[in-house]
Homo-oligomer: A and B are copies of this chain.
C-alpha cells in the first residue's frame, strides 16, 4: 500500500509532535523511509523537504535530517487591501481623500527610500471607513520619478493602493508593525483622543530595485492582527 507524500509528511509530523522522534534526534534517511512507507525516494524527499521549509526539521547533506530543537516558529500574515478587509467583515467600505500635494521628497523619506537629491513625490492623505466609522488612516508617499503618471491620476474616488496594484505588476516590500500614540491629526481623523495607542504598519515598496512608495497605515484603536500557525 504505497503512501502519498501527504501521508508520509503527516506521519512524520505526527511522530515529531508525539515526541516519538525527539527534538534534536536524527530521523531515518530517505532510502529507509521510502522502504518503510513503500514509496519512491522522491516521494519521501518531497515530504521531508516541505517539513524542512516549514521549519520542523533541519537537513544537511551527509549529516542527515534531524528534528529541530526549537522549531523555528514562523507566522504568515495576509496583507489584504483595506477595501477587501472591510468588506470581508460584512461592513460597507467608504473612502475619502483628505489631502493631496506634490513636493520635493523630505529628508527622512529620501533616506528611507534611497531617493535622489531632487526627487519629487506625491503626498496623499486618505481615510478608510467601515460602516461610516473611521477604520484606517493612510499617509502615502509616491515617487514621481518612477511613476510620473501618478501626478495625473485621480485619487478622489478610490485609494492609491488599488491604483498601485494595477500599475505595478509586482514588487518587493519591507513591512513593519509598531504601536504609536495618536497625535492631534490622527485623533481628529480616527475619532479618538490624542495619546491613544494605535496599531500602525509601515511599508516601503520597490520595483526592480527602485523605490516606488512608502505608506504609513494607522488603524483605529483596538485593532488587532491575528493569524494561526
Q: What is the interface of chain A, defined by CB distance below 8 A to chain B?
A: 16-19, 22-23, 56, 67, 69-79, 81, 165-166, 169-181, 195-200, 202, 207-208, 221-229
Contact between A180 and B178 (Cβ–Cβ < 8 Å)?
no
Pick from B81, B173, B199, B227: contact of A179, CB below 8 A.
B199
- Determine how close the nearest CB of chain B comes to the CB of A145; give it in whole angstroms: 18
Report the separation of the CA atoms of residues A17 and B206 in the bound assembly, to the nearest whole angstrom.
11
Expressed in whole angstroms, the Cα–Cα distance for A56 and B229 within the complex equals: 21
Does the CB pair B76–A74 fall under 8 Å?
yes
**Interfacial chain B residues near A175, Cβ < 8 Å:** 75, 226-229
Q: Are B172 and A228 in contact (CB under 8 A)?
A: yes
* Chain B residues with CB below 8 A from A67, complex form: 169
A169, B208: Cβ atoms closer than 8 Å: no
* Of the residues B77, B178, B196, contact of A224 by C-beta under 8 Å: B178
Least Cβ–Cβ distance between A17 and chain B, in angstroms: 5
B76:A170 contact, CB within 8 angstroms = no
> Which B residue's beta carbon lies closest to that of A71?
B170
Q: Are B78 and A169 in contact (CB under 8 A)?
A: no
- Contact partner of A173 (CB less than 8 A), chosen from B56, B70, B73, is B73
Q: Which of B78, B166, B177, B198 contacts A73 (CB under 8 A)?
A: B78
Q: In this complex, what residue of B is CB-closest to A196?
A: B181
A194 nearest CB across to chain B (Å): 11
**Whole-angstrom distance between the alpha carbons of A220 and B62 in the complex?**
44
With a cutoff of 8 Å between Cβ atoms, the chain B residues found around residue A75 in the complex are: 76-77, 79, 175
> Chain B residues with Cβ under 8 A from A18's Cβ?
169, 208
How long is the Cα–Cα vector from A17 to B170 in the complex, in angstroms?
5
- Once the chains are docked, how many angstroms separate the CA of A104 from the CA of B73? 30
A-B contact pairs, 29 of them (CB 8 A): A17-B170, A18-B208, A23-B169, A70-B165, A74-B77, A74-B78, A75-B76, A75-B79, A77-B77, A172-B228, A173-B228, A173-B229, A174-B227, A175-B228, A176-B225, A176-B226, A177-B199, A178-B179, A178-B222, A178-B223, A178-B224, A178-B225, A179-B221, A180-B197, A181-B195, A195-B195, A196-B197, A197-B198, A202-B224
